[in-house]
Amino acid sequence: ILLLLNGKPLLIRGVNRHEHHPLHGQVMDEQTMVQDILLMKQNNFNAVRCSHYPNHPLWYTLCDRYGLYVVDEANIETHGMVPMNRLTDDPRWLPAMSERVTRMVQRDRNHPSVIIWSLGNESGHGANHDALYRWIKSVDPSRPVQYEGGGADTTATDIICPMYARE
């Protein structure tokens, strides 16, 4: 199945981006954001994944303006957990995960640059991901949802996008 935009196939040429300035750390100014976008476009990228958290609101406005597609990623990550899905399969963590996803979707849903929602990065796969996927699809059925830990045998993703090879 192809990803379609306005009824036409869309080839994504994307890059990951962290909000980081070489001198100011995570304090990004508009000029630096625009420089990032122009550098991406100069190198023929048409999409950016906000890894691994929602970016500053201005970033989305600039992506709208400059025509850069966005994969908007929730800040859900559980590096170092064994098993990795320890929190994502624990119903006690669903409220915290839901708040992160809900805030992202409600804040960014009116940006035409956002073409895909992401349920986070490297946090295994658990029932909480499935619940968050269903919630996003109930409030925004127009956009696909991806999750790195989701696969063909899960209900947490529309796009199979494994981070690492899986057996």
Q: What is the pLDDT of residues 113-132, one digit of tens each?
A: 999 999 999 888 899 999 99
Question: For residue 94, what pLDDT is reported?
Answer: 97
More confident residue, 164 or 110: 110
- Confidence at residue 2, expressed as pLDDT on a 0 to 100 scale: 76
Counts for the chain of helices (H) and strands (E), in that order: 4, 7
Q: Is the pLDDT of residue 1 over 60?
A: no
Return mean pLDDT, the chain: 92
Which fold, 13-146? TIM Barrel (3.20.20)
pLDDT at position 166: 57
9 CB neighbour count, 10 Å cutoff: 8
Burial environment of residue 129 by CB neighbours within 10 A (0 to 12, 13 to 18, 19 or more)? buried
Q: Give the per-residue pLDDT at 99.
A: 98
For residue 50, with 0-12 CB atoms within 10 Å meaning exposed, 13-18 middle and 19 or more buried, which class applies? buried
How far apart, in whole angstroms, are the C-alpha atoms of residue 107 and residue 57? 8
Among 138, 136, 143, which residue's Cα sits nearest to residue 104?
136
42 or 89: whose pLDDT is higher?
A: 42
Q: In whole angstroms, what separates CA 65 from the centre of its chain? A: 19
How far, in Å, CA of 77 to CA of 55, rounded?
16
Read off the amino acid at residue 4.
L
**What are the sequence ranges of the domains in the chain?**
13-146
pLDDT digits (tens, 9 = 90+) for 5-64: 888 999 999 999 999 888 888 888 999 999 999 999 999 999 999 989 999 999 999 999
